[in-house]
Amino acid sequence: MSPSLFGQIIQGATGNINIQSEPKGAEVYLDGNIMGNTPLALKDIDAGEHVIKVTKAGYVDAETTITLNPKENRNVKIILEETPETREKRLKYQSAMDRYEASMEEYRQISKPKRIWGFSLLGAGVATGVAATVFYIYGFGNASDSYDKYKSSVLTNDINKQYSSVKDGESMVTIGHIMTGITAVLIGASLYEFFTIPSKPVEPKPFTLKTDTVFSKDLLALKLSVNF
């Protein structure tokens, strides 16, 4: 047999296997040798019969036998079945998530209007407080200035005019008092809205399975050097 013909025969005696699993990340064993984690592409595998085993923590091991033809690209997909323990944990987690979503929807329906009202009342309270301050400043200033002029006035018209200005200043101060009270009510109402917002629901922690074996490239290289 010529060397070129021998090379063609050797080259044609291998194929490729593409292995997928549901869920992903499962360990793949080919003829008892660990090869990696899904999704996994195995190149230049000898043609013939091979046993593929797929394992993942929390799932039942799955095994299938294939016959790989020369130069074939074989696609293999394996759906893993949950163990009873995994199924129980998943259903409990799903139930907890359903309750969490319902609580979150209720939380959003209550908290959003309260926040809107809280900020609106707070804004109105701040605006009223600023207005009250303005009335105080002008009221006290006007009353004090007019009172000084009132005491030094001699003419009746001047006395009446300054007296009227003093009264106007006192009225502005009174309005300032009223607006201060309104400010306190508005800010108190806004704080009530904020403090009565319910606590945000806590999202359940995802359920965990037994620790998956971490695939090591160094370990694979060692196994390949020993078994092939």
Residue 101 has pLDDT above 50, yes or no: yes
Residue 223 has pLDDT above 50, yes or no: no
Sequence letter at residue 90: R
The answer to which of 15-29, 73-87, 145-159 has the lowest mean pLDDT is 145-159
What was the pLDDT predicted at 87?
A: 86
% the chain with pLDDT above 70: 72
Q: Are 103 and 129 in contact (CB under 8 A)?
A: no
Confidence (pTM): 0.51
CA angle 115, 117, 118 (to 5 degrees): 60
For 42-46, the CB contacts below 8 A with 24+ separation are: 42/16, 42/17, 42/18, 43/16, 44/14, 44/16, 45/14, 45/15, 45/16, 45/17, 46/13, 46/14
Q: Are 5 and 11 in contact (CB under 8 A)?
A: no
Q: Which residue ranges form the domains of the chain, and what is each CATH number?
A: 3-82 (2.60.40.1120), 86-195 (1.20.120)
Measured over the CA atoms of residue 23, residue 27, residue 29 and residue 30, the dihedral's sign is positive
Residue 193 has pLDDT above 60, yes or no: yes
Residue 11 has pLDDT above 60, yes or no: no
